[in-house]
Amino acid sequence: MDDLIHQLSTILRGVWQRRWIGIGVAWLVGVIGAMVVLLTPDRFEASARIAVDTQSLLRPLMQGMTVEPNIDQQLAMLSRTLISRPNVEKLIHMAGLDDKSRKEKDALVSDVMRRLEIRTAGRDNLYILSFRDTDPARAKRVVEGFAAIFVDANKGQDAKDSAEAKKFIADQIQEYEKKLQQAENRLKEFRLGHLGLSEGGMDHAGQMSDVSTRLNEARLALHEAENSRDALKRQISGEDPSLSLATGAVSEIDARIDTLKRNLDNLLQRYTEQHPDVTGTRRIIAELEEQKRKEAAARARGGPAKPAVTSSANPVYQRLRVSLAESEANVASLRARVAEYERRSQQLKDSARLVPEVEAQLAQLNRDYETIKKQYEQLVARRESAHISDELRAVSGSVEFRVIDPPRVPSTPVAPNRLVLMPLTLLVSLGVGLLASFGAFRLWPTFVDRASLKDVTGLPVLGSVSFQQTAESRRKSRLALIRFVSALGTLIIAFAAATAMLFALSLRVAA
């Protein structure tokens, strides 16, 4: 927590050092944003309300036998059929907007298609047609033409909708046939992929038996290696690191040789000649015998002189230490092997619990197959209902459209909402200025205290020289702070004044 507080303090102090960069960027972004908000043209929304009468005498009698789309489906169908490129091109011609080049006309068609909107107005099959544009008269002309196209859309449309519905159902039937085949293939592949579990899990049991055997062998080898290591530790505890050589040292060497030979006999009862402990013991015995021979030869050359007592490193002790290190490494390796086999054994034991899970997955696949099959059968039934619905529409007549509210344009624009965008622009400019100060601090970093210098360099800081402000420097600091606060306050006041001016203008327009 202290480190986090220190890092935040360092960042804040660094941002404060680069505050003039931030206030400059905030002013620049604020001015540009305010100009964009003020210069963005007003958009007026023209709208019309149309009622769609879908009731007939035969429809309640044929309920349950025909397909009746709900309001949302009707809206989706109307949106797909009406807001299309041919209808929009016709609409542009009706509104007198087609006096442009081919490229400009294509761009205008795409723009009008994006801004046209059809939405429901609650119950009773009421729809609202709307269009936004910077010119209110042009927006009204577009909505008038769009309403005319919407009212005339029912002429000859029933047969087209029926054909599209039949084609859609036929496509869905083909798609669900493919899904049925895929579901059957998934069932087949699942059964083939889990034959071992479904047939009693013989392969899984064989793997568990093999891993268990290897785990027992590894544990036995680890136990033997630990015993060998403990034996080496006992031998080392009986040896001295230094060896005193005198005339009586030969008997001591003979005693060690006898001890090692007895240990060798014990090792040969458990291991072969190639075992590392056996070969190491034989090597130590050979070295001791060679040392004994050299000492005997030295005494023979020196005569009956008084023996000199010297000290040297005990080679037996050194060899035992090397053997102990090798034994420790062997023990560590065997422990890793035991851990690995234990992990494999546990993994196989966990996988033994997969049989119920496999059965659950099989049941899920069967449920998916039954669901897809049921949907397929329902689609086939819907296809027959579509034929009956087609005959019903031919007998009962087409849908009737009535214009409830003619196209109109309010006197006040609907966008942009400058009273919201102006304060938002201020917040964005302040945020960008803060990010600019932080970026400048990260781009040109400075050390604000000894702790940050130590963290960056990794070297100890022996001391620091403090800065004692004079009266003149404190006066300059206060003036700089006043200038910064003035710049920031001026930015906020300018945006507040612009927002107040926009609010007054909106009240005047509303009045």
Pair 239, 335 in one domain: yes
Pair 344, 221 in one domain: yes
> Could you tell me if residue 23 is inside a domain?
yes
Percent of the chain surpassing pLDDT 90: 10
Pair 99, 24 in one domain: no
Question: For 93-108, what is the mean pLDDT?
Answer: 76
Distance from the Cα of residue 276 to its chain's centroid: 53
When pLDDT is cut at 50, 70 and 90, the band that residue 510 belongs to is: low
Pair 344, 332 in one domain: yes
Question: For 156-172, what is the mean pLDDT?
Answer: 70
Task: Examine the pLDDT at 30 and tell me if it is beyond 90.
Answer: yes
When pLDDT is cut at 50, 70 and 90, the band that residue 123 belongs to is: low
> Could you tell me if residue 432 is inside a domain?
yes
> Could you tell me if residue 6 is inside a domain?
no
> Could you tell me if residue 196 is inside a domain?
no
The confidence score (pLDDT) of residue 31 equals 94
Pair 217, 337 in one domain: yes
**What is the total count of domains within the chain?**
3
The tokens for 377 are 């059968």
When pLDDT is cut at 50, 70 and 90, the band that residue 107 belongs to is: confident
Pair 28, 106 in one domain: no
Question: For 61-89, what is the mean pLDDT?
Answer: 62
pLDDT in tens, 361-391: 777 888 888 888 888 888 888 777 777 666 6
Pair 250, 317 in one domain: yes
Flag the least confident range among 191-200, 260-269, 344-353, 476-485.
191-200
The confidence score (pLDDT) of residue 158 equals 56
Evaluate whether 356 touches 194 at the Cβ level (below 8 Å). no
Pair 293, 313 in one domain: yes
Question: For 177-188, what is the mean pLDDT?
Answer: 83
Query: What's the domain range around 481?
Result: 19-40+416-443+465-510
Flag the least confident range among 92-96, 152-156, 213-217, 359-363.
152-156
State which of 75-89, 144-158, 325-339 shows the largest mean pLDDT.
325-339
> Could you tell me if residue 457 is inside a domain?
no
pLDDT in tens, 40-70: 888 888 888 887 766 554 455 445 555 555 5
Mean pLDDT score of the chain: 76
> Could you tell me if residue 285 is inside a domain?
yes
Pair 505, 480 in one domain: yes
Region of 122 on the Ramachandran plot (φ > 0 left; ψ -120 to 50 alpha; else beta) = left
In order of 276, 420, 505, the CA distances from 416 in angstroms are: 88, 9, 14
Pair 438, 326 in one domain: no
Pair 217, 343 in one domain: yes
The confidence score (pLDDT) of residue 340 equals 86
> Could you tell me if residue 294 is inside a domain?
yes
Pair 226, 147 in one domain: no
CATH number for the domain spanning 127: value is 3.30.1890.10
Of 325, 349, 373, the residue that ends a domain is 349
Contacts for 457 with CB less than 8 Å, ≥ 6 apart: none
Q: How far apart are the first and last CA of the chain?
A: 58
Q: Is the dihedral of CA 320, 323, 329, 331 positive or negative?
A: negative
Task: Examine the pLDDT at 198 and tell me if it is beyond 50.
Answer: no
> Could you tell me if residue 178 is inside a domain?
no
In terms of Cβ atoms closer than 10 Å to its own Cβ (0-12, 13-18, 19+), residue 478 is exposed
pLDDT in tens, 314-361: 666 677 777 777 777 788 778 888 888 888 888 777 766 665 677 677
